[in-house]
Structure 1
Amino acid sequence: MKRLRRGFTLVEVLIALVLLSLLMLVLAGALRALGGVEERVEQRITAADDERAAVRLLGDVLGRVSARRFPLRQAGGPAEAPFFEATPNALSWIGIMPARFGAGGRHYCRLAVEPGPGGGRLVLRYAPWTGAPTFADWDHAQSQVIVAPVQQLSLRYQDPASGQWSAVWPPPGVPFNALPSTLLPGAVDIQVEGPEPSWPPLTVVVVATRSSDPSAATGSFGGGRL
């Protein structure tokens, strides 16, 4: 009877407390891991939504490009050409901004990486079209951050006649009379390095607006992605 009424010893209590503490640590670690997984899933969902919105915006703006020609003062080139300044890391053109941005209609546009807090940012700048053949005051133009942070933007332009890609437009060595009547590339390949999760390569078909395309006869035109 004395042995049955005996309580726990101090050593047994300490062992029980240690085991309980270990169990609590394991449960706390599991809860933290579960919270981290949930946060990463939410980040990936948000990043995927941002990517879809950015792809849609680029497809809309680059998918309708003005082919209206302006006089040039460049020796060895055509007398007139559209405003389409294409380099490996930046692109400037006259396009149609979607009305959902409160800036519908024809605008000067530029896509490039700009410095910003925490690193580079892929920025679309736009300013209302004034009829001038070029635009250079990009610092005062409105801007829309496409994605951040970004390390590099790589652009390529497709010659619709040959299907070949070039880092600049017009392609070096291709005579102007061999280019399409719009003097625009058939598509633009966009590769963005830096965002997480990483973007897949994006190809946007370039379609001249009907009112500016010298070869357009009937029908309407819109942008798209390959």
Structure 2
Amino acid sequence: MRKRVPSLPKDTSRGFTLVEVVVALAVLSLIMLATVSALRTFANTQTSLDRVIERIDETRTVSSFLRSLVASAAQGQYEGGLTLGGPPENSSFFFADESFMTWKATVLFGENFGGTYLLRVQRQGDALVLLWQEPSNDNSNVDWSDAASRQLISGLQEFSLAFRPNFVDDWVTKWEPGAPPALVRLRIKTRDRYWPDLVMELPW
């Protein structure tokens, strides 16, 4: 009688099938794609937020600076033409149209350098600049080509001014030398967006 050989126990463990591996890789790829998209969205949001903050800071800084310069305008008797000895130091002057504004102000550049200067805000290319020089005998016809300057805004797309003779009249776009307007309005557009209108009351 033949002796029966006991059978070995069957190995119940098995590996992943090809289909299971493909499905797992597909799910992992979707998870990684979602993570990368979320990180990219977060980076874009942070960049946009930084631009908004930078824009707000620029608007606040420039607006504050211009308000301060206008508030420091020289007050006193208005200049009324040529004088042999030059205009009085404390005389007022204002001349502007829709593209520039010139006025006399007492300003301080640094701790030990300042005085009464003729100031001018105007557009130069794609920048808004502030120019200054010492007053002359005829401030309405001075040469600004060699004046000291400082860039206030870059990427300027639009810049215009308007003026109100008093608080109830309509806005006008040109102002002759003489008695200044009650209000001046600056309209600025940079990076395809308009700033809030900057309306300033002149101090005289």
The question of a shared fold, defined as TM-score above 0.5 by the shorter chain, is answered with yes
Q: Is the 8 A contact 2:187 2:194 kept in 1?
A: no
Distance 1:100 1:130, change over 3 A: same
- How far has the Cα of 1:152 moved from its partner? 1.5
Amino acid at match of 1:95: A
Structure-2 residue corresponding to 1:204 = 200
Q: CA deviation at 1:151?
A: 1.4
1:145 aligns with 2:151: yes
**In structure 2, do the counterparts of structure 1 residues 2 and 132 end up closer, same or farther at CA, with 3 Å as the change threshold?**
farther
Cα drift, residue 142 of structure 1: 2.2
Greater shift in the superposed pair: 101-110 or 139-148: 101-110
Q: Distance in 2 between matches of 1:157 and 1:195?
A: 25
Shift of 1:24: 0.5
Q: Could you tell me the percent identity over the aligned residues?
A: 26
Name the aligned partner's letter for residue 152 of structure 1.
E
Structure 1 CA distance for aligned equivalents of residues 25 and 199 of structure 2: 62
SS in structure 1 opposite 2:35? helix
Deviations 1:1-26 (A, max 9, x none): 85741100122212211221121011
Q: Is the 8 A contact 2:73 2:92 kept in 1?
A: no
How far apart, CA to CA, are the structure 2 residues paired with 1:13 and 1:150?
A: 57
Q: CA deviation at 1:107?
A: 1.4
Which of the two has higher C-alpha Rg? 2
Correspondence 1:39-58 to 2 at 5 A = 39-58=47-66
User: Is 1:87 paired with 2:97?
Assistant: yes
TM-score by length of structure 2 reads: 0.78
Partner of 1:158: 164
Report the alpha carbon displacement of residue 148 of structure 1 after superposing the two structures with TM: 2.1
Larger relative contact order, structure 1 or 2 (CA cutoff 8 Å, min sep 6): 1
Matched residue SS, 1:25: helix
Over 3 Å counting, the alpha-carbon distance change for 1:24 and 1:167 in structure 2 is same
Distance in 2 (alpha carbons) for counterparts of 1:83 and 1:2: 106
1:123, 1:147 → 2: CA distance? 7
TM-score after normalising by structure 1? 0.71
CA deviation map 1:82-131 (0-9, x unaligned)? 5422111111221233445975322111111111xxxx11111122x244
- Asked if the contact 1:93/1:108 (under 8 Å) is kept, the reply is yes
Unaligned runs of 5+ in 2: 1-8, 84-90
Q: Partner residue of 1:122?
A: 128
Count matched residues.
186
Residue 72 to residue 66, structure 1, CA distance change in 2 (3 Å): same
Q: Displacement, 1:141?
A: 1.9
In structure 2, C-alpha distance between the alignment counterparts of 1:158 and 1:165, rounded to whole Å? 5
Matches within 5 A, 1:176-191: 183-191=179-187
RMSD: 2.8
Alignment partner of 1:62 is 2:58:
no
